[in-house]
Structure 1
Amino acid sequence: MKFSDLKSLSDVMTALPDEKSAANLLFNEGLIKNNVNCSKCGNPMQLRSRANGYEVSPSQKEINWFILIFCGGAEVPRAKIAPVKAIKVIVLWKQKYSAKQISKEVGISEQTVCDWRNFLREICTSIELSYGKLGGIDRTTGRVAKILVPLLQASVDKNSIVYSDERKSYSQLKHYFSEHCTVCHKIQFVNIVGSRRVCTNGVEAMGSRLKAPFKSGKGTRQTLLDSYISEFFVRENEKDDFFSKVLDEMKSKVI
């Protein structure tokens, strides 16, 4: 069983009946180092069974599993949770469960869930930076022509036919691309131009999908907005490969 094969909570409970099986999965996937020395005595650390789970010897401290994984990219979750619970959180997040739903299903606090979700979105931010597509790192709220046109020129072939609404910022696009067709949303959803059906509903729908979680969650902090946008774009771009892409990015940060 691979981590990416875990599609639901029932999959996790069936494949990982105890903490040892969960730990072995994480070791085998390369998500946890299997050769770590104690920071106090310098001796190799080993898993040791205890009544309530596993701990690390010789430090005698409860293992903070994912602290061993990530550095220099995403902020590591502060909350220490057992391997099975960590895996459940990741799988449920992949399924777009809310923080309240994950808290109830896994049996941890909503604050702990939020901490882990923040961490997973930072992984998405790291993935998005590799795309090099329209928008990207230095986002701006400006939508004037002097901002939009250079972005479009950098990302869209000059021989392309561009569809847009009739926003004033787009009025000069015909000078930079093969053709520019518009639709006026005040009077129509589709504009017939020759044999073409000019429609921007696909892009509008994507915007609606992006905004939906914010509406259901009654907004979010401004400081977290970019990470939510990153998660959205990575989900849209990777589609069925989203979970595998996230896991691969996590593995790339193991030290």
Structure 2
Amino acid sequence: MADHKTDDHPDGNYPCGMMPDNTFQTDVLPLLCENPLPVINWLKQHGLLKHEMHCQSCHNRMNWTKHSRSKDGFAWKCQTRYCKKYKFTATIRTGSFFSKSHVTLQKWVHAIYLWSERVGERTATRHVNISEKTMIDCYSFFREVCSKHFQANPIQLGGLGIIVEIEESCFTQKPKHHRGQAPHTPVPPISPVWVFSITDTSTKPTTGYMEVVQSRDAATLLPIIQAVIQPGSIIYCDEWRAYCNLQDLSGDTNKPVNSSINFVDPHCGAHTRTVESYWNRHKSHIKTMRGCKRDFMNSYLTEFMWHDRYSDNAFENFCKHIALQYPM
């Protein structure tokens, strides 16, 4: 699962300005004490743990009780004497985002906060005090939450008379100075990774959509355009031939494929600087991560798109999205 290693803060300190942040000081720091009750109560209040539990056998409410053998110090216990599962205990994590994990709830909350502040995995590993592999898995789970959020809430850009820009961008990491290669050994060719990007110029800061594409032909790009860009939008694009061919798929060369979406000839003064800037910003972030495996590229793009939209109160927003996906 170790898809990349980030060493964005080698001195082991939080990013500049993080520690004085009010969210950390008032909401997170008090939850990181050894006593598990504060974090348990906070997770209940935010819909991340159950407020009550019913026995699967007798269906009566189970009691909340201390449990020394539980990793959380508490458990749900059936106290119905006639029930065949009398005194049976269930973990307080049942059905939750944390149900399959052995990481303490305090460390989970700390990790969520650091991820929401875009702290790299290596730095987060040091502060949360868990293994790097475990932190990589945690961050992977967070990206899954982002992915599920956009599956339930598909991204829509543009609208009547709104300009959107589209562009395909190449991202390829090349080994520096033949690192890892024997002297005079030819470097094997690296196939490029192409990312199709769409930005909405009406939003500040710019929001967009990104997806890794295997091909840059019209048959590949058209379904993405039709799914993401709203009717009535005006599309600015470069002179690449695939965009010209988009009209051909409609069977009417005098009209665009979608009659409510208009492709603008770049010779009329249109430009794609916004989408180029948008992609370069995220490309730079990938480079600070020292790259990532191709199989994980789309999941990182999804994470970037989530942060584009929810960076204000990111910690609170992410907890809300977890609660929606794991209803208690």
What percent of counterpart residues are identical?
A: 23
Q: How does 1:1-255 map to 2 (within 5 A)?
A: 7-8=23-24, 11-14=27-30, 17=33, 18-36=35-53, 44=62, 46-48=64-66, 54-56=73-75, 58=77, 66=93, 68-70=95-97, 78-133=100-155, 140-156=213-229, 159-172=232-245, 175-176=255-256, 177-182=261-266, 193=268, 198-240=270-312, 242-252=314-324, 253-255=326-328
Q: For structure 1, which segment, 80-89 or 151-160, has the greater mean C-alpha deviation from structure 2 after superposition?
A: 151-160
Q: For structure 1, which segment, 227-236 or 19-28, has the greater mean C-alpha deviation from structure 2 after superposition?
A: 227-236
Deviations 1:67-97 (A, max 9, x none): 5314xxxxx6754122222111100110011
Letter paired with 2:104: A
Alpha carbons of structure 1 residues 54 and 85: separation in structure 2 relative to 1, 3 Å: same
2:66 aligns to what SS in structure 1? strand
Q: Which runs of 5+ in 2 are unaligned?
A: 1-20, 78-86, 157-195, 197-208, 248-254
**Bigger Cα Rg:** 2
TM-score by length of 1: 0.72
Letter paired with 1:48: K
User: Are the aligned partners of 2:237 and 2:263 in contact in 1 as well (CA < 8 Å)?
Assistant: no
Deviations 1:186-231 (A, max 9, x none): xxxxxxx4xx5x3322211221233334322333234433322221
Find the aligned partners of 2:305 and 2:295 in 1 and give their Cα distance: 18
2:237 aligns to what SS in structure 1? strand
Alpha carbons of structure 1 residues 147 and 237: separation in structure 2 relative to 1, 3 Å: same
TM-score by length of 2: 0.58
User: Are the aligned partners of 1:77 and 1:115 in contact in 2 as well (CA < 8 Å)?
Assistant: no
1:7 aligns to what SS in structure 2? helix
**Aligned length in residues:** 232
Which has the larger helix fraction?
A: 1
Q: CA RMSD in A?
A: 3.8
Find the aligned partners of 1:6 and 1:125 in 2 and give their Cα distance: 28
> What is the deviation of 1:33?
0.8
> What is the deviation of 1:24?
0.6
Q: Which runs of 5+ in 1 are unaligned?
A: 71-75, 184-192
User: Are the aligned partners of 2:146 and 2:306 in contact in 1 as well (CA < 8 Å)?
Assistant: yes
